[in-house]
Amino acid sequence: MSRQKRVLTISLAVLLLVGVFLTGASLNRSIDGSFWNSWWSRETPVTSVTSKIVQEESMVIDIVETTSPAVVTIGISKLERFSTFNPFDPFSFFETQEQQVEQDIGTGFIVDAKGLIITNKHVVSDLGAQYRVISADNQTYEVQNIYRDPSNDLAILKIEAQNLPTVELGDSDSLRVGQFALAIGTALGEFRHTVTTGVISGLGRGIVAGSSFAGYVEELDNVIQTDAAINSGNSGGPLLNSAGQVIGVNVAVAQGAQNIGFAIPINIAKSMLDNFYQTGEFTRPFLGVRYSVITKEAAILNEIPEGAYVTEVISGSSAAEAGIQPGDIISEIDNQKIKDRQEGVAGIINQKKVGEVVTVKIWRDGETKEIPVRLKSQQ
């Protein structure tokens, strides 16, 4: 091979080696750079998710630590009589014995540093029993007075104490389905300060609430539904939002279902408190009718107005004195249409005051009438 050809071959080989080297370096940079950067970017969300979980846990812990000192357990003390029979003494027949029973039965929360506590009326429905309050630091207080709301399953307990921790009350009118919810209470009347979390899973529900301890039931409208676990003994405890504000008073759990609990909107309790502070008692207005709601479909089918069909008028009530009769259809109260109020007649009347005169529009025998009604308190 000539010298010139050898030089050309060597030059081509050198150029080939340089190209391979440059290509490898470029590939290496690609692997070191974009590849690993891409891999690292895929790892970033894991860190973000972990951080989010920690933040959520921290939020729940903060709510519990802030609110729990104001959550109390309601206990009952009652003398019970029962009969026994001695099978080895046929002449003993049944002997009556007495036993003092003490049991945790519900929950409440402190709304006034001077000792006012909100709970459910059905928790303290036994007029012959003595009730006590056990605070978060295990201090026991005897209940001095009980004020029961005649219109809702709510009650205020008064204990002798000062400088108690209190909860912050929120706004239940601004609730939305899907938002965070947390419940605190004495689950099953045994496990104090049990914490459960969930969401608001429904609004404007109608339920029958009661107590397995007292055998008391009551129909409630416009309550909050939540999947935060609520058990017997949670009744009267707070339902809280993510800001640690009370948005509802836990009242019942759906029998035969899982994770379906209910709470009375806190705005109803706030109205009750305002009334109590002004009068020192519960003097809610009471129209005095029992009714069934007439839907739009039923109204069209029967050619009658939508509203509340009066099935019974309570003797001596405001409605009775004004001349409202069974069979009347109440379509409006003070220009508020019944169909526009989710709570019906009760929802409108609860916004009024005792002694106030309201105009009730009724439909009777094909004619529409307006009847003035002066509202009395429930006896």
- The residues carrying an active-site annotation are 122, 153, 235
Please name the residue that has the structure tokens 């050198």: 14
Phi (first) and psi of residue 291, to 5 degrees: -150, 165
- Please report how many Cα atoms fall inside a 13 Å half-sphere around the Cα of residue 362, on the Cβ side: 21
Our CA angle for 26, 29, 33, nearest 5°, is 145
Q: What is the largest distance, in Å, between two alpha-carbon atoms of the chain? A: 139
Considering just the CA atoms, what is the radius of gyration of the chain in Å? Answer: 34
What is the DSSP track for 249-293? EEEEE-TT-SS-EEEEEHHHHHHHHHHHHHHSS---EE--EEEEE
Please name the residue that has the structure tokens 């891999």: 39
Question: Would you call 149 helix, strand, or coil by DSSP?
Answer: coil
Q: What does the alpha-carbon distance between residue 263 and residue 248 come to, in Å, rounded to a whole number?
A: 5
CB-based burial label for 365 (10 Å; 0-12, 13-18, 19+):
exposed
Whether 128 contacts 74, CB under 8 Å: no
DSSP β-bridge partners for residue 168 = 245
Closest CA to 157 of 109, 216, 220: 109
